[in-house]
Every structure is written in structure tokens, then in C-alpha cells.
């Protein structure tokens, strides 16, 4: 698999959050495509830009009231389906 672009990583994480709101489970699932450091950095970026919010100590949620979920590019769909 080719290296993911930074924007692809952010979109991938937003769609993964739809499936797994628990941060520990999310990070475990993302291990197959991202390093833990990349995943955590991307989550922090999404929180900083208010596209994702923490709703508890271990829970994440897309902040769809603030920003719309971006369209899932076709090359990321197989990754999300594999989670």
C-alpha cells in the first residue's frame, strides 16, 4: 500500500471514529495502516481544528455540528471496510 497523504490520514481517522468512538480501540484498529505516533498526531490535529471532539476520557466523536464529514475517497474505502 502506498504512503497515505496527511489529508488522507485525517479523513481515514474521521471515518474510523464513526465505527469506533473508544480511543483505545480506534488506535488498535489504526495500527494496521498508521504508526501510533501518526495516529495520535492526526487525532490531535482533528481535535485542534474542531473536526473531532472528546466526549469523555476515552471517547472521541466527529464534530459534525461544527464541520461536515469529508467525502470518503475511493482508495480509502477498502481500508475502512477492513476495520
Number of domains in the chain: 1
Tell me which of 2 and 62 has the higher pLDDT.
62
- Domain membership of residue 31 (yes or no) is yes
Give the SS3 label for residue 6: helix
- Domain membership of residue 68 (yes or no) is yes
| DSSP-assigned beta bridge partners for residue 62 | 52
Domain limits for position 77: 6-82
Q: How many CB atoms lie within 10 A of CB 78?
A: 9
Q: What is the CATH number of the domain that holds 71?
A: 1.10.10
| Mean local confidence (pLDDT), 29-46 | 93
Predicted pLDDT at 41:
94
pTM over 0.75: yes
- Domain membership of residue 1 (yes or no) is no
- Domain membership of residue 43 (yes or no) is yes
Amino acid at each position: 500500500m502506498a504512503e497515505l497523504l496527511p489529508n488522507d490520514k485525517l479523513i481515514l481517522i474521521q471515518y474510523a471514529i464513526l465505527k469506533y468512538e473508544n480511543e483505545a480501540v480506534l488506535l488498535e484498529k489504526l495500527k494496521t495502516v498508521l504508526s501510533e505516533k501518526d495516529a495520535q498526531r492526526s487525532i490531535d490535529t482533528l481535535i485542534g481544528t474542531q473536526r473531532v471532539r472528546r466526549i469523555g476520557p476515552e471517547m472521541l466523536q466527529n464534530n459534525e455540528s461544527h464541520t461536515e464529514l469529508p467525502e470518503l475517497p475511493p482508495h480509502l474505502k477498502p481500508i475502512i471496510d477492513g476495520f
